[in-house]
Amino acid sequence: MIKVVATIVELKEELGYYRNNGKSIGFVPTMGALHQGHISLVERCRAENDVTVVSIFVNPTQFNDKNDLKNYPRMPEKDVALLEQAGANIVFVPDEKEIYPEPDTRVFDFGMLDKVMEGKFRPGHFNGVAQVVSKLFDIVNPHRAYFGLKDYQQLAIIRAMVKMLGYGVEVIGCPIVRETDGLAMSSRNLLLSAEHRKSAPLIYRTLSEARNKKGEFSVKELIAWVESRINSDPNLRVEYFELADADTLEPVESWEHQNGIVGCIAVWAGNIRLIDNTMFKE
């Protein structure tokens, strides 16, 4: 039977029992509106830990658009039922006052990591992510925490934060889960109109084709090709497509780049913003 708790006191009490018995604690932080991508994280967490904790909290400090926060899908009862089915042990569903009894004024310095791509177009977003994830890590104190690779830059930021704050948590990135037509699963997909949903698979289709065209184009030319291919659909508009160093996320100039290369993209489908990524060079 899944245990649903809303307060830090109650959660710590629950986890104290497991901790005192030497059990390993795995953690999956989410903002709810769960889909198969989230469930894959829960399943991986279950396989690697004695106890699986999932949090559902729509974190206001990481939204730089008030409408996005207001419209973000919320379906807690459905989420809890899904998590019970997936075998999670504890669901933590705090309200805003519980996580932020007073405003969090911490400012994190991630160097260039949060200035490019998402950071450039969503100022303050990653500072909010670092605020909430660090708070949740303090509360849950997990051995391992699981995040989807769809939010590639977010994962890099969380790894940097863990190092910066000296947390003993192992951060595990899990593969992107896709719909049958290739669209990366996202809670925001629920907000797409039928017409935009029909166009959205072009994003991953284009990324996949672009991977095979590396030999034909320079980095700059490939970026232009991806943007014009996606923008040729009137339902889609590329905000950015970046070929970046897989670790530092700084833009790369050529395919001879010594490190791995990741292609990260953000696309507007109507007023819904979709992100995706794929490796261009391991």
Q: Is 38 a catalytic residue?
A: yes
DSSP string, 122-186: STTHHHHHHHHHHHHHHHH--SEEEEETTSHHHHHHHHHHHHHHT--PEEEEEPPPB-TTSPBP-
> Residue 152 carries which side chain, given as an amino acid letter?
Y
Which of 38, 125, 143, 257 is the catalytic position? 38
> What angle do helix axes 76-86 and 36-48 make, rounded to 10 degrees?
40
> What contacts 88, CB < 8 A, 6 or more positions away?
2, 28, 42, 45, 46, 52, 53, 54
Which residues are catalytically annotated? 38
